[in-house]
Amino acid sequence: MLGLYVVVAIIILLVAYAGPEETMRLFAYMDLQLRYAWVRFRMYLMRRKLQQQLLKDLPEYNKLIKEMSKDDQR
């Protein structure tokens, strides 16, 4: 319950200090930052999954390249 009072007091102080328009801009900025952080986290997970998949498939690709180079030499 104390946390709720602290949050409400902070919002009231923000509105009193900077005005409602600037307070809304601050909340919009925080929203965008959180969304961007989520996108960066998902990109990190996709990059890690792709790296693991490429490492797993690397021997197969090397074998294919060797076969193709042998066919080119003939």
Give the DSSP letter of residue 3: H
> Does the pLDDT at position 71 exceed 80?
no
CA separation for the pair 68, 61 (Å, rounded): 10
Q: What is the pLDDT of residue 51?
A: 94
Tell me the average pLDDT of the chain: 92
Is the four-CA dihedral 64, 69, 72, 73 of positive or negative sign?
Answer: negative
CA separation for the pair 26, 64 (Å, rounded): 55
Q: What is the pLDDT of residue 74?
A: 61
Question: What's the average model confidence in pLDDT over 17-44?
Answer: 97
Question: What's the average model confidence in pLDDT over 13-27?
Answer: 95
